[in-house]
């Protein structure tokens, strides 16, 4: 008889010992029975052990799938860094299939892409550095560099993964990749049907599919010879998983590329501060079409001011299209001064505070500091702090009233729920069947709008005034991404409604995103990532008193640790969710090992740990 320790997939349990008559290998996927559970559980063989002193149960079945050594190593890292069990970490991977070695057909792709001199330099830089950040302005042709690099890797008989935010995996992108890589490429994201996913997996197993373009889960597909990972729009926050294991696919790609000496390209027009700080970058500025883009500002606090309505109506009169952008889909509230456009900052954290409890108070969600809404603005001593609310549905209604003869459509997650709907709205828009598209972040991602001559940006101040140290980075990056959607071919206008014109104008017109990043790095030094690590411990339970006691207990415990700082604790921004009361502790440390050790010691069924949390 053989004895094995196994990790139960999707379970927080630590290893359990089972026996088996068969000789099994490390990484084999098996079925085991578990006390108190009706159905058999998926599990993975982790280690062969001596016969234990206690009696074990026999493994029920060995499945024809296995996790290879690399998968187990990466999962081990995930379980340590993102604080979860190995079984939970392994559950994000799709295992290999045990089968006869498939005959590798050699590939010969020819994209026929000719790179410009600038692109060629960027391409060589990425090749030389092996792991590089392609910090490339919108329209400077980074996709050609990706395709050229993928082509090179695939022609060597190796595999590649191109990660993109799910909403950027557009039909246009798919067509572009299929034109070069034919049946060797497949698209992978949450809306792909189970049946199609199985077909894709079969294609990966038999070697037909050599390239996957997909959302973050594509990183865990079973490629035998992965040599290249590209993370497009690397600044995008959707790379972070918000359920266990709470990994960040971008950070993990960097870890994997370094550990296994793979090629990695992180690409963005608005590089994230973390990558800018950590990874050697190439700045690609020159754009193909010198688009004439005029940026206007509107400082009124009326959502659709006369100035904005005027611009829209002029654009429509010339048979051109308009996109109207809002940062969130639901109604979203934020505080802002009527006169200077600044918000009230927390004196301890240098971030904007958020409105709390029926708007009677301002609260910092980092440290818990709370104060009354001041009578006059602390910055200019002139204006008044008031609440603003913006929402896509409201704007859509108003535009329909203002332009009854025009077609206005909404483009957000409430409206666009399926792939088919997305395709049909985009098609209608590009065929001029829609005049105005009102939408959220979805609008700013990778779609080509041929006939858009005006982009209206509303509510960007709500992003800038968010209770987060990342608020400036988020607001500016978002604005640059949206501005890039207007007038891709020919002339384009952008009108930005903001009371913080100075900030946006400076970085859009006079200076550069690189200068912005350097300034932000100075601001964050000693306080925020990438210089220190931050984690959030979230406690949730239906019993509000019990959960507060649990948090208090851990606050006390964590405060005794001299290597980590309890930045703050208290009720979460959303205090009650799904009938559970929520409290959180925010931790900071420049000592990563000490922080992780402390996090691993948190042993509460109410607690969820979020390392590198997206504040
Ligand atoms: Zn003011
Ligand atoms: Zn604070």
Which comes out higher in pLDDT, residue 161 or 190?
Answer: 161
Q: Per-residue pLDDT for 293 more than 60? A: yes
Pairwise pLDDT comparison (18 vs 139), residue with the higher score:
18
CA of 486 to the centre of ligand 1 (A): 32
How far is ligand 2, taken at its centre, from the CA of residue 546, in Å?
25
Identify which ligand lies nearest to the alpha carbon of 336. 1
In this predicted model, what pLDDT tens digit does every residue of 194-214 receive, in sequence order? 999 999 999 999 999 999 999
* Ligand 2 centroid from CA 572, angstroms: 13
Rounded to the nearest whole angstrom, what is the distance from the C-alpha of residue 521 to the centroid of ligand 2? 19
Whether 43 shows a pLDDT value over 90: the answer reads yes
536 vs 79, 171, 272, CA distance in Å?
A: 16, 37, 21
Q: Say how many Å lie between the CA of residue 567 and the centre of ligand 2.
A: 8
Rounded distance from Cα 382 to ligand 1 centre (Å): 6
Å from CA of 211 to ligand 1 middle: 53
Instruction: Kindly identify the ligand whose nearest atom is closest to the C-alpha of 362.
Output: 2
Q: Which residues pair with 586 in a beta bridge?
A: 536, 568
> What average pLDDT does the segment 243-249 reach?
96
- Both tokens of residue 239? 């790379």
What pLDDT is stored for residue 491 in this prediction?
73
Say which ligand is closest to the CA of 335. 1
Task: Scan for tokens 């001064």, then name that residue.
Answer: 337
pLDDT at 353: 84
- What is the rounded distance in angstroms from the CA atom of residue 151 to the CA atom of residue 111? 7
CA of 503 to the centre of ligand 1 (A): 15
Instruction: Write the pLDDT tens digit of every residue in 207-244.
Output: 999 999 999 999 999 999 999 999 999 999 999 998 99
The token pair at 544 is 């509000």
Does 461 have pLDDT greater than 60? Answer: yes
Averaged pLDDT of the chain: 90
Name the residue with higher pLDDT: 440 or 90: 90
Q: Reply yes or no on whether the pLDDT at 389 is more than 70.
A: no
Ligand 2 center to 501 CA (angstroms): 26
Q: Is the dihedral of CA 401, 403, 405, 410 positive or negative?
A: negative
Ligand 1 midpoint to CA 376 (Å):
8
Determine the distance separating the centroid of ligand 2 and the alpha carbon of 587, expressed in angstroms.
Answer: 13
pLDDT tens digits, one per residue of 97-150? 998 776 666 778 999 999 999 999 999 999 999 999 999 988 889 999 999 999
State in Å: Cα 365 to ligand 2 middle. Answer: 7
**pLDDT over 80 at 86, yes or no:** yes
Interval between CA 343 and ligand 1 midpoint (Å): 8
Query: Counting ligands in written order, which one lies closest to the CA of residue 340?
Result: 1
Q: What is the pLDDT of residue 347?
A: 85
Ligand minimally distant from the alpha carbon of residue 348 = 2
Tokens of 435: 């005049």
Q: What is the pLDDT of residue 372?
A: 87
Instruction: Report CA(345)–ligand 2 centroid distance (Å).
Output: 8
What distance in angstroms lies between residue 2's CA and the mean position of ligand 2's atoms?
56
Ligand 2 centre from 264 Cα, in Å? Answer: 37
Omega within 30 of 0 (cis) for the link into 294:
no
Ligand 2 centroid, distance to 362 Cα (angstroms):
11
Cβ–Cβ under 8 Å, residues 62 and 28? yes
The neighbourhood of ligand 1, an ion, using CB within 5 A, equals 337, 339-340, 377, 379-380, 383
- What's the CA-to-centroid distance between 379 and ligand 1, angstroms? 5
**Radius of gyration of the chain from its Cα atoms, rounded to whole angstroms:** 26
pLDDT score for 102? 65
């Amino acid at each position: 008889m053989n004895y094995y320790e196994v990790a139960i997939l999707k379970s927080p349990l630590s290893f359990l010992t089972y026996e088996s008559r068969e000789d099994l290998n490390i990484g084999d996927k098996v079925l085991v029975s578990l006390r108190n559970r009706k159905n058999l559980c998926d599990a993975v063989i982790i280690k062969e052990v001596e016969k234990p002193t206690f009696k074990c149960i026999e493994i029920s079945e060995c499945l024809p799938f296995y996790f290879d050594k690399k998968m187990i190593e990466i999962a081990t890292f995930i379980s340590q860094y993102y604080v979860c069990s190995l079984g939970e970490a392994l559950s994000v991977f799709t295992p290999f299939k045990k089968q006869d070695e498939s005959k590798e057909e050699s590939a010969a792709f020819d994209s026929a892409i000719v790179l410009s001199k600038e692109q060629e330099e960027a391409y060589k830089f990425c090749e030389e550095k092996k792991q590089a950040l392609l910090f490339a302005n919108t329209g400077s042709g980074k996709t050609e560099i990706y395709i050229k690099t993928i082509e090179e890797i695939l022609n060597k008989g190796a595999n590649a993964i191109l990660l993109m935010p799910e909403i950027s995996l557009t039909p246009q992108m798919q067509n572009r990749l299929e034109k070069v890589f034919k049946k060797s490429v497949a698209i992978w994201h949450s809306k792909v049907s189970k049946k199609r996913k199985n077909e894709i997996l079969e294609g990966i197993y038999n070697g037909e599919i050599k390239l996957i373009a997909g959302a973050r889960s594509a990183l865990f597909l079973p490629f035998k010879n992965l040599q290249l990972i590209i993370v497009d729009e690397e600044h995008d926050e959707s790379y972070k998983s918000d359920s266990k294991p709470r990994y960040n696919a971008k950070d993990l790609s960097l870890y994997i590329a370094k550990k296994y000496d793979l090629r990695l390209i992180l690409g963005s027009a608005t590089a994230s501060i973390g990558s800018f700080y950590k990874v050697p970058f190439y700045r690609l500025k020159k754009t193909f079409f010198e688009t004439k883009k005029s940026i206007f500002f509107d400082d009124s606090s009326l959502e659709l001011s006369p100035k904005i309505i005027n611009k829209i109506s002029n654009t429509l009169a010339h048979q051109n299209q308009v996109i109207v952008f809002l940062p969130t889909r639901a109604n979203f509230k934020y505080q802002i001064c009527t006169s200077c456009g600044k918000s009230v900052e927390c004196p301890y954290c240098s971030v904007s505070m958020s409105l709390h409890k029926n708007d009677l108070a301002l609260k910092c969600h980092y440290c818990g500091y709370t104060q009354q809404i001041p009578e006059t603005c602390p910055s200019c001593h002139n204006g008044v702090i008031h609440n603003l609310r913006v929402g896509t549905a409201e704007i859509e209604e108003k535009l329909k009233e203002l332009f009854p003869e025009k077609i206005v459509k909404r483009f957000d997650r409430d409206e666009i729920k399926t792939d088919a709907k997305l395709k049909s709205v985009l098609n209608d828009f590009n065929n001029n069947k829609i005049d105005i598209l009102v939408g959220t972040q979805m609008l700013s991602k990778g779609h080509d709008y041929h006939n858009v001559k005006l982009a209206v940006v509303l509510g960007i101040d709500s992003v800038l005034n968010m209770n987060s140290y990342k608020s400036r980075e988020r607001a500016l990056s978002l604005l640059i991404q949206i501005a890039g959607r207007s007038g891709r071919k020919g002339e384009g206008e952008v009108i930005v409604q903001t009371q913080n014109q100075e900030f946006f104008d400076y970085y859009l017109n006079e200076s550069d995103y690189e200068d912005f990043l350097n300034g932000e790095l100075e601001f964050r030094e000693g306080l925020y990532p990438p210089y220190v690590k931050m984690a959030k411990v979230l406690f949730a339970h239906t019993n509000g008193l019990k959960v507060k006691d649990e948090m208090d207990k851990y606050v006390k415990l964590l405060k005794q640790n001299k290597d980590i700082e309890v930045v703050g604790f208290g009720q979460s921004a959303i205090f009650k969710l799904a009938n559970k009361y929520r409290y959180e502790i925010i931790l900071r440390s420049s000592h990563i090992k000490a922080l992780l050790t402390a996090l691993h010691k948190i042993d509460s069924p109410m607690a969820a740990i979020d390392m590198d949390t997206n504040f």
